[in-house]
Structure formats: C-alpha cells, structure tokens
Structure 1
Amino acid sequence: MHISPIRTEVFRCVKDSNMFAFTSLVILGMCCCTKANSEIFLDRPQLHIPSEVLVKQVVDFLCEYPNQHNQSVLLKLFKVGNRKDVMGEYTLPAEENFGIFPKLIRLSHEGYFECEASIQNNTEINATVSLIHYLRVIEPVTGATIVHSGPKEFFEGKDLEMQCNVTVGNHVSYKWLLNGRVISPSPFYQISENNLMIYRATSEASGSYVCVATNIFNETKVFISNSSDVLITVKALVSKPDISFAVLKEDYQNYSAIITCQSERGALPITFSLYNGTELLSNVTAKEKHATFKVPIILDQDLGLLQCHANNGDRTTYSHSLPLKVVQVGGPVTIDSKYDMAENYAVIGLKFYCKAAKGSHPRFQWFLNETLLKDRGSFYYVFDRLPTESILLLSVGRSSTGMYRCEVSDSFDNTTAISSRTHYLNKNVLNRLPVFVVAVVFGCFTFLILLVSSCCLFGLIFRPKQFEEKPLLILEMNKPIAPEELSINTEDPDELTAPREDEFYQESEASVDEWPELEQEFRKTLEDEEVEV
C-alpha cells in the first residue's frame, strides 16, 4: 500500500500533539496529589451552652474540639451574624480538648452562638465552625402597672382600653382580673400582649381591674408581679321610664292623681320631669329610680296627656303618653265563666271573669256565701289580669260549692259598690247535662218515635183496601174463561184478547154510586147529635 507524503506528515503531527497532552496531564496530576497529601483538615468543634439562663448569672460557654493532630488550635466564640465582635478566644494546647468562655449574662447575650476552630498563625488551613445554639435570657419581671389614658368613670356604650407595663422583665405573659376573676377573651373583651380592649362597655364592666405579669425560668421557677387596683365605673344609661297614676280622694269632692315615673335601670341620680303635652308640670332629681308627682283632677273629664322624661347625665328617655282621665265605676257588673275539663269530660276547674261596664280604677272583691275571698286559698286564686278585669280560679269540689258573686267599687272611694248576680256552683249540678241539651235530645227522640208511629199507622190504614182488591183480582184471574169469551185474532192466532179495564174496577164504580146515600146518612147523624146537645 502506498501512502502519500502529505498524509504521512499529518499523522506525525497528530502523534506529537497527543504525546504533549499526555505529558502535561501527568505533570498536573502529580502536583495536585502532592498538594492534597500535604493539606490538613480540621474537625468541627462542638459548642455546649445551656438553653436558658437568668440575667446577671455567670455561665461557662464550653467549646469542645477533638485535637487529633496534637496541634495548637485557636478557638473563638461568636454570636451568629456578628463576626466582627469576638465574644471570646481560647488557645487550645495540643494535649487539651476543651475551651471555656465564662460570661456574665446580660440581656444582649440572648441569641444564637457558634464556636470556630482554626490553626493558629496558619491561614492556609480552613477553619471549621460548630453548629449554632440558642441562648434564652430570662429577666425576672417586676413593677407591673396599669396605664389608662381615659377617664375612670364614664357612661356605657364607650370603649375602654388599658395597658399593663412592667419596670423590668422579658418573655412576660399577662393576665387580667376583674373583681378577682380572670377575664376571658370574647367579642367584647380582647386581650393582645399587654393590652386589654373592651368594646361598647356596659355597667357589667365596672369594678376593680388588676394586671398580673408572669415569666418562667427553666419551667420550674415562676416570677409574678401584680399591679395595683384600678377602679373603673361604667355608669348605666337611664332606661325608658314607665308612667302610671293612682287616684287619691282628698275630701268629699276633691281628688288628686299621684303620678309615678319609674326607670328599671340607670346610674343615680336621675332627674325626672313630668309634662302635660308640652307643658312642664314639675321635675325632681331623685336618688332612687322613681319619682312621684301630685296633680289635682276632676272626675270623668279629659285632662290631657301625661309623659315622663328621665335623664341621668348622658341622654334623655321618654315614657309613653298616658291620658289623664278618671272614670267612676258604673254597672252592670257581669261574670263570665270558662271550664277546665278532665279526660273523662268531667269539669274539674272553673274560671270566673268579673268586669264592670265602666270605671278606670276599679277594685274587685269576690264573695262565697257572703265570705270575702282574699288573694289565695286552698281551692281558689284571685288575681287582676287587667286594670279593668278580675279573675277567680276555682278547683271544682266539695269545698268550692256555694253562691259566688263579684263586687266592684272605685279604688279611691268604696262608699258605693256594685254587685253582680250570684252564681251557684256545685260539682254534681255542673257535671249534669243542661236542660236545653236534655230537651233537644228528648225532642229528637220523641220526633223519631212519632215519625215511626205515623208510618206504621199509615200502613195499617191502607192495608185492608189492598187486601180487598187483591182477592178480587185473584178471583177474576182464576175464573174459567168461556169459549165464547175468547176472541181469536185472525192476524195472530196465538194472541188472546186482553180483558177490558172496566172489568177490574166494577166494585169501585159501584161504591161511587153509593156516595149520595152515605152523605145523607152522615148529615142525619150530625143533626141528631146537635139535637141531643
């Protein structure tokens, strides 16, 4: 095989270049291996510190290094994130394995720490760093106080905010007490860190507030600081007053109305004002939740509309309007009743309702056999459901038997009393059927008997005539037919001629002819009876 000179030259150049690359690679590898064999790697140190310490305590930070190379190692203590500030240095001799850094603990020492190990005066060997550890510093809490910027006395509906501050202490938890009881978070009480917020405070938020600040060391030692009491008064807004009046008889013809204005709630004192329409009649500041006013009146006359106003410093509330009119009691006095029945439909209870035809201030009295029934007894109970109506509840029995009546008079003047009709109550009579019901039932029964009797009598009257007609018809039908009575139809030989209609009613026609004679005989009989009379 023949190879050209050019191709031979190319092969020689490629061979020379490959030899050069291989030689360079071998030299480089020898250099790296020599350097790697000469480098010393340091082990990672271990940092030992407590997880939690008290402030102002002396604590030893221990840095452990396994000195396997028997060289002098420099140990440094750092706070993570601040390499410029060396917390401590310790030169570890070849025969030692621990470096100790004693520290007087301050609050600034709280955080993460690490320990670094390096060969002293040799920057070519890389330093190693321990794992980080967190140090928690506890400062016992003292000097808890409550800060409240707003007034300590205000009306309900406003917000209340308080803050608990401490003189010293960290990692503090807070607890709030109201009148010695712990306040739990709710939509109205919100607790955030050392703040207490009460939204739309009511009178229930009034009382003595105390803040309790607490921190704990090592889960064994508890530090507590209580604030002094702060008295908060949330005044209740005055409620809508009620208005009412009673009548007082001064003498024979003079009367007065004693008007009462009363609110169910509200901080004292309360100022009550009485108006007749737009006219102010009187006002008074009361240390109670009610006030009374005296106004002269005339019976049976409209004297206007009364209204109470109440104010205790933050707002004014108004009562409903009350007509000032006193109507004397007038009759008649009526009693209505309702029954309470058992499962067997026996009456076991009774309610009497007493009411007068007119009267704005009636007084009711119930009597049993002319004995006054008061309030409540063994078998009765008296109460006034409405100002103009009284109710007597009775249990039906032997004790409740008797005559009942109701008497009504004016509450301000009992000289004239109007009595109702008496009502007799007896258990046996009450459970007996009413006369009307008995009459209706008996009448229906009698009507049925009469109806049935009439039907029977009607049947008896018409029964003989039917029996007389029936034999005659049977006789006529059973009588032999003479050959000459047969009429054969030429068109249909098998069809017989039907009997005539007059053949069935011959006897009836004869009876009709006898009517004149019977009529004359009946008239003669009547004339004879008249003569005898």
Structure 2
Amino acid sequence: MNCHKLLAILALTCLLFKISGSRSLRPMLNGPDMAFLNTKVVFQCFAHSSSPTIIYKLIRDGKFLIGIHVGHKRDRNATFSLKVKAASAGLYQCTATAGRSTGVSNRIRLTLVTPASNTRVTSEPSPPTVYEGSGIILRCDADRGSHLFYTWFFNRKEVTPSTSGFHLTGNQLLMEGVTPEHAGTYYCIAWSVVQDIRRFSTSTEVTVTVKVYASKPEISFSVFKAGGSYHSNITCWSSRGSPPATFYLLLDDKQVGSVVASESLSAWFDVALVIGLDMGDARCRLKTDVQDLLSEFVTLEVVPVGGRLKLEVDYLYTAESKLAAARLSCQVSRGTFPHFSWLFNNSVLPSQSHMDSHSQPSLSQFAFDDRTQTLILTKLGPEDSGYYRCRARDSFNPSGQWVQSAAVLVQVTDQILNMMSQATSCSDTLQSLYTSPFESIALLFCCFFILILAVGFICVYKMFDHSQASPDIPAANPGSAPLHLSEPESLSVALQAQVFFADQEVENQVNIKLKTAQLSLLSSHNTGLLS
C-alpha cells in the first residue's frame, strides 16, 4: 500500500516538473525588421533549458518553415541566415522544443525596402517657366522605391528647411511668390537607409525660368542720310522684362512693321523721312504671351536748325564765396537735332570726341555737358578771359550751315582773383574771432547777473534815500494857510530835488548802458550761431 502511494507521488512530481519545464521554455528571436531586396539577413533564436538538446524552427507567417537548427549544451543559440527575396517579407517566429516542451518566441515583421531607381524631377506647371509672383511645384519621382527620403539641391547647393523662399514637404519642393532669384538649376536625390546602409538615386538637372513682366515700352528716333534721302531710325525698347517678345511699329495707329526680340527687349525700324514735313505720330506696341503694351506717341517731324542762338553765362561759387567755375549755355530757337560747337577768340574748341594728345587748347581746363550744349570752364585763370561764341547745325547734315550766336566776354583777371582770396581770408579771420556757443551763453549769464546786482543796488539806494528825505517834508494841511518857506529851507528842498533828479539820470544812464551791452552780446551770440 505504501509502495503504491510512493509511486503516485513520484509520478505527480515528474508531471509537475515537466509542466514547469514546458512553461519556462520561452525562446527569444532577434533579427532585422527591414532589409533591402537581394541582401542577406540573419535571425537568432535562444532559449533556456536544462535539456541536452533543443530543436529550433524559424517559421514565417505561422506556416512557412524557413529553417531548423539543433542546439546542444555547448551551443544553445540558433542562427538562421537567408537571402531576401520578394516573398521574404512577413511575420517571423521561432519555436524551441526540448524533450516534450515547446515554446514560441516573439514576432518580428520583416519589411522589404526597395531602393529608388530612375529618379527624375517633374514640375507644375510644365515646363518649369513662370512669371514673377506666381508659384511652382517641383516633385522628385522614382519609378521604383519604398521608404524613401528626399534631398533637394538648388544651383548645386542643398536646400534645407531653413532655406528662405522654399518649403519642403514629402517629395515636393514648393515655391510661392517666386522672384528672379529662384531661377536656376534644380535636382533631387531619392534615398533609403537600412542598418546604416544607404542607397541613392540622383535625378538630372532641371532649369527653372522666372520671367519678368515687361515695363511700358519707350520710343525714340534719330535721323541719318542714306544716298540722297533721309531716314529715321526708330528705336522701341523696354527697360524691364524677359524676352522673347514682339515689337510692332504703329504709324498713325497703322502697323508698318514688326520685329521679334529674342535676346533683349529692343527693336529698330527704318522709316523714310522728309526734313521739315510731319510724317505722322509713331508709337511702339509690345506683345508677350501675357502682356500687350503701348508706348507714348512721338511725332515724326524733323525741324531744321535755325533762328537765333542765345548764349548765357553763369558764374559758380564755392561755399566760401570763391569763384570756382563758369558755365556757358547755348540755347537754339528751333531745331530737332542740333549739333553744337564752341569758339574761343574765334578759335574752334575741340569736342571731347575729337580731343587727343595733339590738341592744345588755349583754355586751361574745360568740359562739355548735354551733348556739348553747355561749356563749363572748370579752372578759371587770366588766360581764360576772352570772347566766347557757340554755333549749331543739323547733326544729320555734316555739310550744313552753322547758325552762330553773338560773342560774350568772359573776363577773369588777377585783381578779381586776389579780391576773392582776400575776402575769403577776411571771412576766415572774422569767423575765428567768434566764440563758441557755450562761451557766449556763459558770458550772457554773467552779464545778466551783473545787471540784476546793479538794479538791486539802485533799488536799495533809492529806498534808503526816500526814507531819509521823508521826515523833512511836512504833512499837508488843507485847512491851514499856505506855508511860506524861509530861504534856507527852500534851498534845502531845491538841493534835494537836484539830488533826486541826478540819481534818476544816473540810473537811466546805467540802464541804457546795461541794455546796450546786453543787446551787443545777444547779437554777437546769434552771429556766432549762424556762422
């Protein structure tokens, strides 16, 4: 009976030991969760068991057996190495069996990462040509690829989230309110990373063009002679804008010509011309793919040079009132395209375009302005004194007749220059005598303080004098008879009156002198401040 009980206890103990052994068999699976296609990955499975051998199985998606490994006491780890294929993605688990105990490991989901290939940049709008102020979207597209990251480059420099004027989102590069500074070359790199291994695919460069809206066209014309007839060279241009554009010439609102400007916004038209005849009103028309603009009118009429020429002389002075230069201006009464020339003492002065090292003008130094319409004597001396004339003719007719002004005398002598230098030195000397504003203010306050002291002294003196004189004057009694003063008393009163009026006169003279000194100081102070 006791033997049966002992056998039952032993059987129960073995059963409990087996159950506890099966529960403690908990294998652990380690391995990657991402892998590139056609690469090799390694999974490792390990379980604690007292059994001499452990059988490991690697299973995918709960039904596909990937591999079996038998672990012994010396090597409990199971290593499974496999090449990643398209069907390798899935959920991996490891089972461990030791005797009659079996345990299931944790799960690892393996995701396949496809490297990018055939990367390119696409744009919206396409082609990537936009006008300033609009928006553009660039996309980095790849034919194949998963788990991709994107890097953008503008003019070979990387675009980061902190780069001004750009917005990165996914595979897109956004630009809003573009300016000409956004124009340039762009490309992108699509890349993915697995266990510090990166795979790249780079696109080709795409050029983004930012067009500038054209400004209002302008028009001008010149005249030239070809053979025996005259022609007008009409120029149409815009100071701002992006080509290409088409210029049209309208004469009295009728189109007479057109030019396609592909490099710069300018065009030229040749129109026959008759001197002195109104050929009509011309204007330019500019057309682009988004704009249609018109210039102002210009009258195609060339008036020959004629009438009377007026010569005016202006002398220019420095801030120190020193004679610095003389400006001679020539005004023609009529003429559309005048050409001016200058004479000094009946000798023609060479223009700047014809002046060379062999030219020896008699003037010390001179210059031209406004297409030689103005002559400026920049360095005056006695040698610049003389008679000046100006003359004009039609610029398009070199053999035309000159219209000449009357002679004007410009006289610069040593005496005038010396007087100017002396006046300058005198003004400098007077200016050096002026005190500074702070010294003037201090002196003014001192004088004001002295004036207050003097007035106070006079007031105290007068009060004391009146207090001494009041007891000697008897009170008036209307009921009494007139009081007759004796000779000594009348003399005393007369002396007091003389003293009183003398004091008044002294006080008035002191006040006048103090006020005069105060006004003089204020005048000198204001003069110093103005200088």
- TM-score past 0.5 threshold: yes
Q: What does residue range 87-126 of structure 1 map to in structure 2 within 5 Å?
A: 92=71, 96-106=75-85
Is residue 416 from structure 1 mapped to residue 402 from structure 2 by the alignment? yes
Select the residue among 216, 230, 235 that pairs with 1:260.
Answer: 235
Counterpart of 2:337 in structure 1 is 361
Q: 1:211 to 1:492 in 2, by over 3 A?
A: closer
CA apart distance, 1:396 = 1.6
Give the distance between the partners of 1:409 and 1:191, measured in 2 at CA: 66
Say if 1:42 and 1:128, in contact at 8 Å, map to a contact too: no
Is residue 494 from structure 1 mapped to residue 487 from structure 2 by the alignment? yes
Give the distance between the partners of 1:286 and 1:349, measured in 2 at CA: 49
Select the residue among 257, 264, 285 that pairs with 1:309.
Answer: 285
Give the distance between the partners of 1:37 and 1:89, measured in 2 at CA: 24
Counterpart of 1:61 in structure 2 is 43
Q: 1:292 to 1:490 in 2, by over 3 A?
A: closer
Q: Which structure would you say has the larger Rg?
A: 1
Q: Which residue identity is paired with 2:46?
A: E
Give the distance between the partners of 1:183 and 1:425, measured in 2 at CA: 71
Q: 1:337 to 1:430 in 2, by over 3 A?
A: farther
Q: Which residue identity is paired with 1:374?
A: S
Say if 1:367 and 1:373, in contact at 8 Å, map to a contact too: no
CA apart distance, 1:280 = 0.8
Instruction: Please give the secondary structure, in 2, of the residue aligned with 1:431.
Output: helix
Select the residue among 273, 276, 280 that pairs with 2:254.
Answer: 280
Two-structure CA RMSD over aligned residues (Å)? 5.1
Q: What does residue range 333-412 of structure 1 map to in structure 2 within 5 Å?
A: 333-337=310-314, 339=316, 341=318, 345-369=321-345, 370-375=347-352, 379-384=365-370, 390-396=373-379, 401-403=384-386, 404-412=388-396
Aligned residue pairs total 398
Q: 1:347 to 1:36 in 2, by over 3 A?
A: farther
Q: What does residue range 399-478 of structure 1 map to in structure 2 within 5 Å?
A: 401-403=384-386, 404-413=388-397, 414-419=400-405, 421-424=407-410, 426=412, 428=414, 431-433=417-419
Say if 2:247 and 2:258, in contact at 8 Å, map to a contact too: yes
Select the residue among 113, 137, 152 that pairs with 2:127.
Answer: 152
Deviates more, 1:289-298 or 1:308-317: 289-298
Question: Which TM-score applies when normalising by structure 1?
Answer: 0.56
Counterpart of 1:21 in structure 2 is none
Report % sequence identity.
Answer: 21
* Unaligned runs of at least 5 residues, structure 1: 1-33, 438-488, 499-533
Say if 2:62 and 2:93, in contact at 8 Å, map to a contact too: no
Q: 1:251 to 1:91 in 2, by over 3 A?
A: closer
Give the distance between the partners of 1:111 and 1:46, measured in 2 at CA: 18
Say if 2:138 and 2:172, in contact at 8 Å, map to a contact too: yes
Question: Which TM-score applies when normalising by structure 2?
Answer: 0.57
CA apart distance, 1:261 = 1.5
CA apart distance, 1:98 = 0.8
Instruction: Please give the secondary structure, in 1, of the residue aligned with 2:401.
Output: strand
CA apart distance, 1:374 = 1.9
Say if 2:153 and 2:159, in contact at 8 Å, map to a contact too: no
Say if 1:153 and 1:233, in contact at 8 Å, map to a contact too: yes
Say if 2:90 and 2:111, in contact at 8 Å, map to a contact too: yes
Q: 1:129 to 1:163 in 2, by over 3 A?
A: same
Q: Which residue identity is paired with 1:261?
A: C
Q: 1:312 to 1:320 in 2, by over 3 A?
A: same
Q: What does residue range 213-228 of structure 1 map to in structure 2 within 5 Å?
A: 213-215=190-192, 219=196, 223-228=199-204
Counterpart of 2:515 in structure 1 is none
CA apart distance, 1:282 = 1.0
* Unaligned runs of at least 5 residues, structure 2: 1-14, 356-363, 424-481, 492-531
Say if 1:138 and 1:170, in contact at 8 Å, map to a contact too: yes
Instruction: Please give the secondary structure, in 2, of the residue aligned with 1:102.
Output: strand
Q: 1:108 to 1:396 in 2, by over 3 A?
A: farther
